[in-house]
């Protein structure tokens, strides 16, 4: 007898006990991942009428398992200095349907029976400190270049090219 997480139903029928369990292929799952373009400890907040509210930090994921087939929504709440710029959805079914509303940052999707959907939300930092250019590397001085040239020329002269 196989037992699946949180699904065990005992039925008493004519003095015998029958165990009914859900086939794991009858349920769907969604994995939500968060990727940010800079290392950060910022918590990104999500709301979903079907999955509940949850928080992810960059580089983390949340798995929602044993979901019924149907329509779902996930919305990422706006955070100062961060912009959602991409969502990647990968599904085990070829008939995956999803729509994204950029004005509300809401992803709507339909899960099929047995589907495993992987969603990755990508954010980039809009903070001025993250947008600042890298410090300039000082150009080598003329004396240093002259010294390197003098050191390299004798070695080049020793080579013979035929």
Strand 54-57 and strand 43-47: the pairing is antiparallel
Contact 27, 114 (CB under 8 A): yes
DSSP state of 53: -
pLDDT digits (tens, 9 = 90+) for 95-134: 656 888 888 889 999 999 999 999 999 999 998 776 555 4
The percent of residues in the chain predicted with pLDDT above 90, rounded, is 46
Structure tokens at 72: 């779902």
Distances (CA, A) of 122 to 11, 16, 85: 47, 54, 6
pLDDT digits (tens, 9 = 90+) for 71-93: 999 999 999 999 999 999 998 87
pLDDT digits (tens, 9 = 90+) for 32-61: 999 998 888 899 999 999 999 999 999 999
Q: How many CA atoms lie within 13 A of 137 on its CB side?
A: 1
The pLDDT mean for the chain works out to 74
The domains found in the chain, sorted by start residue, are: 25-131 (2.60.40.10)
pTM value is 0.64
């Amino acid at each position: 007898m196989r037992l699946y997480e949180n699904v065990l139903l005992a039925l008493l029928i004519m003095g015998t006990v029958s165990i009914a369990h859900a086939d794991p292929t009858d349920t769907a799952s969604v994995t939500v991942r968060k990727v940010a373009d800079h290392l950060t400890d910022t918590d990104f907040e999500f709301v979903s009428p079907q999955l509940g509210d949850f928080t992810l930090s960059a580089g983390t994921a949340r798995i929602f398992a044993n979901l019924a087939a149907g329509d779902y929504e996930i919305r990422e709440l706006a955070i100062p200095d961060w912009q959602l710029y991409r969502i990647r959805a990968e599904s085990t079914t070829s008939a995956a349907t999803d729509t994204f509303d950029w004005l509300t940052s809401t992803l709507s999707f339909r899960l099929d029976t047995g589907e495993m959907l992987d969603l990755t939300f990508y954010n980039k930092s809009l903070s001025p400190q993250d947008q600042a250019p890298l410090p300039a590397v000082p150009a080598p001085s003329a004396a240093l270049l002259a010294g390197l040239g003098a050191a390299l020329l004798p070695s080049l002269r020793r080579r013979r090219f035929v």
